[in-house]
Amino acid sequence: MKIQPFHLAIPVSDLEKCRKFYKETLGCGEGRSSDHWVDFNFFGHQLVIHYKEPQETEASTSNPVDGKDVPIPHFGVVLEWEVFHEFSKLLKSKNIDFVIEPYIRFEGKPGEQATMFFKDPSGNALEFKAFKNIDQLFAT
């Protein structure tokens, strides 16, 4: 089975601020857009940010994973090991406010991975991760 890019649409409360974040901070190429939404090339996948009127939101929640409070919900991509480390250096240079700083999760165990979490300007949590051995992606 050939793996195809996924499509994800997320709500944002400030379209222009989020457009700048995904385009300039994360380096995502911009595709089609209107005054209410913008398509991005999100590491080979289609991400669409849709303007949604700001509303009072629930308090963020998290689940403990490897001793860290992982924000839920969240989304992101699995990058190649070297790409992850270069990307995390770039984000640090842009003073990203990490929810969980880049680190190695499950060190020495099945599924060992590099991971990091941060939020976009509308509070959507993103996770980027990488495996030294991609065959460990679903290891138990």
pLDDT in tens, 4-18: 889 999 999 999 999
Q: What are φ and ψ of residue 2, in 5° steps?
A: -80, 130
Amino acid at 79: L
| Share of the chain residues as helix, strand and coil, in percent rounded to the nearest 5 | 20, 45, 35
What pLDDT sits at residue 4? Answer: 86
Give whole-number Cα distances, 60 to 13, 38, 63, in Å: 16, 25, 11
CATH of the domain at 72: 3.10.180.10
Q: What range does the domain containing 80 cover?
A: 67-136
What are the tens digits of pLDDT across the range 83-102? 999 999 999 999 999 999 99
Q: Is residue 1 part of a domain?
A: no
Cβ atoms of 106 and 66 within 8 Å: the answer is: yes
What are the tens digits of pLDDT across the range 129-140? 999 899 988 888
Cβ atoms of 30 and 40 within 8 Å: the answer is: yes
76 with 132, same domain: the answer is: yes
- Give the chain's end-to-end CA distance (angstroms, integer): 22
Residue 120's closest CA among 65, 40, 32? 40
- Overall number of domains in the chain: 2
47 with 75, same domain: the answer is: no
What pLDDT sits at residue 73? Answer: 92
15 with 39, same domain: the answer is: yes
What are the tens digits of pLDDT across the range 73-85? 999 999 999 999 9
In this model, does residue 114 exceed pLDDT 80? yes
What pLDDT sits at residue 55? Answer: 73
Classified as helix, coil or strand, 59 is: coil
What are the tens digits of pLDDT across the range 24-72? 999 999 999 999 999 999 999 999 999 998 876 666 789 999 899 999 9
pTM: 0.90
What pLDDT sits at residue 54? Answer: 80
Cite the DSSP H helix spans in 52-99: 81-93
